[in-house]
Every structure is written in structure tokens, then in C-alpha cells.
Structure 1
């Protein structure tokens, strides 16, 4: 069956259970910047917010190719990452870089091709 959409990018959702360092915004930003660099993406901005001692972090890297974001729940050892990239940047490489940073954790990955309706 032919696709009804013209692909413009790849969108990955990564749920990570059993994760550590989820209350460390500097480390999470480092992980995400390394993933963006490895993927060939261009970082144009970032913002990370720590909700307080032993609490979670929410953060985003703005990319010329879209974004990488994270929200964490250290009390549950859980992190949710969202990666959306278009152009020559590789979503798969970014996924692998983030997954490698959480070796030993349980990782659930969902990917979608994003696009616009044809016709």
C-alpha cells in the first residue's frame, strides 16, 4: 500500500525505566547535546528546569532540525524523551546515543514517520 504522506521527518518517543541521575539537569543536557551532535543536528537553544532537590527535570534542546526533549521522575526511576528530526539529521543515531547513556535500564522505543498529506 502506498503512503498517503510525504515524509518530512522521524519522531521517536523513548520511555526509560530503571534510570538513574534523573535529578541532574547538567548531566541530562550533556546527554542530549551529545545525542544531537552525534546525529548531525544543529543546536540553536536550550532550556532545562530542575523542580528541586530529589525531584525531576524538564528540558529541551531546540534544533534547526526540530527538538529533543526530556521529562524525568526520579522518584519512579523514569524518563521520557521525545526526539523529532528532519533533514539530514539522524533520529536513529540520537536514539542510540541516549539509550547508550542509560545502559542497563529498560528502554521502550516508538518511532513514527511524520509528513504531510499528499494531493
Structure 2
């Protein structure tokens, strides 16, 4: 199946709470995950909530990576949406799983912009995204 993009919906369980509550650390980890995926970072913004938790997004030329953390539960919800054949969202996932010290993961991969559903035909070999 050909599609414009790949979207990983990731649940990380049993993560290190101190990692999940460090806004500067989370931003650096998300930016490094984008680099590990071979994407081009455009911008990022992150926010630490009171009393705890972090939300943020890294905008990449190929789409985005976002995260929402609940340190009190050792849980993080991560989206990695990439377009184009040169970017590998699974490399970003592997990096984040490691640095957040996740004990268990759940992942759904979606194909976004499926060619047959949006009427794109004959683009094999043409770079999209």
C-alpha cells in the first residue's frame, strides 16, 4: 500500500518519572529522535505543567513528533508522523523507548494519505513529502 506518510501512535509504560518531568530533557530527546529518524527539524515548542507533566511538539519538514507525559503514572503518549521515503519513524521510536526507560510499549502504525483513497496513481519512484 502506497501512502503519503506513516504515523506511529505510541504508548510508553513504566517510564522513569524524572525523565518524563524534565521539560528541557524531553525537548532534547524529541529533537534527537527527529534526527535519528533522518528528518529535518523546523521548530519545536515544549511546556511543563504544574505540578508535573510535559507536552510538546517538534515540527519537521516531513511532519511532526509530539509527546504528552504523565510522570505520576510513568506514562507517555507519543505521535511520530513522517512523510517521504528517507525518514524512518521506527528509529525515532527505538531511541525514545530507550531514553525514557520504557518497560512496555504499545504501537499502532497508520498509513496516512493512502494513494488509492486520494486518487494518486502512477507515482511509484516519485518523491512525495
TM bucket, shorter chain: 0.7 to 0.9
1:52 deviation in Å? 2.3
Among candidates 12, 15, 40, match of residue 11 of structure 2:
15
* 2:14–2:101 Cα contact (<8 Å) kept: no
1:56 deviation in Å? 0.5
Give 1:89's aligned residue.
87
1:33 deviation in Å? 1.1
Among candidates 50, 66, 69, match of residue 72 of structure 1:
69
1:118 deviation in Å? 4.4
| Unpaired runs of at least 5, structure 1 | none
Deviations 1:31-54 (A, max 9, x none): 11111111110110010000124x
Deviations 1:20-76 (A, max 9, x none): 1111011111111111111110110010000124x1000000010000000011111
Calculate the aligned-residue CA RMSD, in Å.
1.4
Runs of 4+ in 1 over 3 A off after TM superposition: none
| Unpaired runs of at least 5, structure 2 | 120-129
Question: Matched residues in 2 for 1:44 and 1:31: separation?
Answer: 16
> TM-score, normalising length from structure 2?
0.81
> TM-score, normalising length from structure 1?
0.88
1:89 deviation in Å? 1.1
1:114 deviation in Å? 1.1
* Larger strand share, 1 or 2: 1
